[in-house]
Amino acid sequence: MNVKTKSACSILIVEDDPSIRHALVTILEHIGHQVTAAETVSDGLARLDGQTFVVLDLNLPDGVGTTILERIRAERRAMKVAVATGADEGELLAEAQRLGPDLLLHKPYNVNELLKWLDTVG
C-alpha cells in the first residue's frame, strides 16, 4: 500500500464478512484512523456517531445496508459514504444509487481505491 492519508478520520465500517472487516480495520487503524466496526444493520445504526466516513456493505445478515444510508441521508448527517457491493445486486444497487453514495466499490475491491478516496475527500 502506497497511499498515505492527509489526516486521521473517524470511520464506521459495516461489513458482515469477518475477514474483510478485520482487514479494513487493521489497515485503517495502522495508518492512523479511528475505526468503529459493525457487522449488522442494527449494530451499524447503533454505532452511527458522527463519523466522517462510512464504508457500507449492502447485504447484511439482518437486512440491507441501504437502511443505514437512508438514515444518514434523512438526518442530513455530514458523512461521506462508500457502498461496497457484489456484482449481481440489481435492485439493491439501484436503491443505493438513488440514495447517493459518495463512492461505489464493486467487490472484490482494491483497498487502494478506498484509501485514495479517503485521502481526497478527507
pLDDT at residue number 33: 96
* Domain definitions of the chain by residue range: 10-121
Collapse the DSSP code of 120 into the 3-class scheme (helix H, G, I; strand E, B; otherwise coil) and give the result.
Answer: helix
Question: Phi and psi of 107, rounded to 5°?
Answer: -75, 145
Q: What is the dihedral of CA 96, 92, 54, 46, to 10 degrees?
A: 110
Contact 62, 86 (CB under 8 A): no
- CATH domain 10-121 topology: Rossmann fold (3.40.50)
The single-letter DSSP state of residue 34 is E
0.85 surpassed by pTM? yes
The predicted-structure confidence for 66-90, as pLDDT tens digits, reads as follows: 999 999 999 999 999 999 987 566 7
The angle at the Cα of 62, spanning 60 to 63, to the nearest 5 degrees, equals 65
